[in-house]
Amino acid sequence: MSDFARATAVNRRDETAYDVDLDLGWSIGGRPNGGYLLAAIARAAVDAAGREHPLAVSGHFLRPPAGGPAEVRTEVVKAGRTVTTVRATLWQDERACLDVLVTAGTLPAAKPDHTGTPMPVLPPPQECMSRADTPFRVELLDHVDVRLDPATVPTPENVGAPVVRGWMALRDGSPADELALLLAVDVAPPTVFRLGMVGWAPTVELSALVRAIPAPGWLAFEAEASVVGGGWFDENATVWDSTGRVVAQARQLAMVGRQGG
């Protein structure tokens, strides 16, 4: 079993509830990464749906859970012919932490009929920064190998447009699967760091589309903010697999960095 599969494993307890053991190794500054949480919850939702893959995952973040035991409570909202929609909520200590709607089905295997959004030109992973220069402790990077395009590394010396590009792979060498794509859409450091707005930037909502099972190899990602103001920013993320295919798309709403948060 891969490191990622173990960290996001869920155990069905009864008809609707799943136990999960949140692993603080997949955290940033002591808070489990949002993409990691979505992956674990989506794993439970897809199982509850009796489907193969998540297609659309919409998470509204209520409060950050601690590490350790937690529960995913699921409700099949509609089981259709092609897709099944499930509400899945992460609970800990009788408090809802993350509420998610998941529509699950089967990802297309064939090459798309049309693709826009070509993969950006990136330096190869070995020429990228292997650990971001950040004031935070990033436990997640013990498990996920993130390489940032030097041109977009957010440092005080590299202020610029709020775009971050790079590569991602799982450190244990296991291939990223469709659930790991939920990690990939949230793995970039907050793009507003490029504007000098550093600090904990909590995700309030993240909606992701999973488009294909990724081919083995590095995933490329690009995250970009369009509107930053009034303490809020959006971040649009696209993930490509090693064949250059778009495999995931997401947009999140987050709060601008809070010092010490």
Q: In terms of CB distance, is 156 or 173 closer to its own copies?
A: 156
| Among the listed residues 16, 158, 174, 249, the single contact to its own copies using CB under 8 A | 249
SS (H, E, C) 177-190: CCCHHHHHCCCCCC
Q: Is the dihedral of CA 181, 185, 187, 188 positive or negative?
A: positive
- Give the span between the Cα atoms of 47 and 97, in whole angstroms: 20
| Among the listed residues 150, 156, 173, 231, the single contact to its own copies using CB under 8 A | 231
Pull the structure tokens for residue 122: 């990136």
Q: In terms of CB distance, is 7 or 212 closer to its own copies?
A: 212
Q: In terms of CB distance, is 82 or 126 closer to its own copies?
A: 82
Q: Is the dihedral of CA 126, 222, 220, 2 positive or negative?
A: positive
Which residues within the stretch 141-180 sit at the binding site for its own copies (CB under 8 A)?
161-162
Residue 89 near residue 100, CB atoms below 8 Å: yes
Closest by CA to 210, choosing from 164, 245, 169, 171, is: 245
What value, to the nearest 5°, has the Cα angle with vertex 86 and ends 81 and 89? 175
Contact between 204 and its own copies by CB under 8 A: the answer reads yes
Contact between 72 and its own copies by CB under 8 A: the answer reads no
What value, to the nearest 5°, has the Cα angle with vertex 107 and ends 105 and 109? 150
Contact between 215 and its own copies by CB under 8 A: the answer reads no
Q: In terms of CB distance, is 184 or 209 closer to its own copies?
A: 209
Q: In terms of CB distance, is 179 or 246 closer to its own copies?
A: 246
How many residues of this chain interact with its own copies, rule: CB under 8 A? Answer: 55
Alpha-carbon radius of gyration of the chain: 17
- Give the span between the Cα atoms of 184 and 179, in whole angstroms: 9
Closest by CA to 206, choosing from 177, 237, 246, 180, is: 237
- To its own copies, the closest distance from the beta carbon of 100 in angstroms equals 8
- To its own copies, the closest distance from the beta carbon of 229 in angstroms equals 3
| Among the listed residues 6, 13, 50, 115, the single contact to its own copies using CB under 8 A | 115
Q: In terms of CB distance, is 92 or 143 closer to its own copies?
A: 92
Contact between 77 and its own copies by CB under 8 A: the answer reads yes
Residue 22 near residue 32, CB atoms below 8 Å: yes
Contact between 81 and its own copies by CB under 8 A: the answer reads no
* Interface with its own copies (CB under 8 A): 55-56, 58, 60, 62-63, 77-78, 80, 82-83, 85, 87, 89, 96, 99-101, 103, 107-117, 161-162, 195, 204-205, 207, 209, 211, 224-232, 234, 236, 238, 246, 249, 251, 253, 255
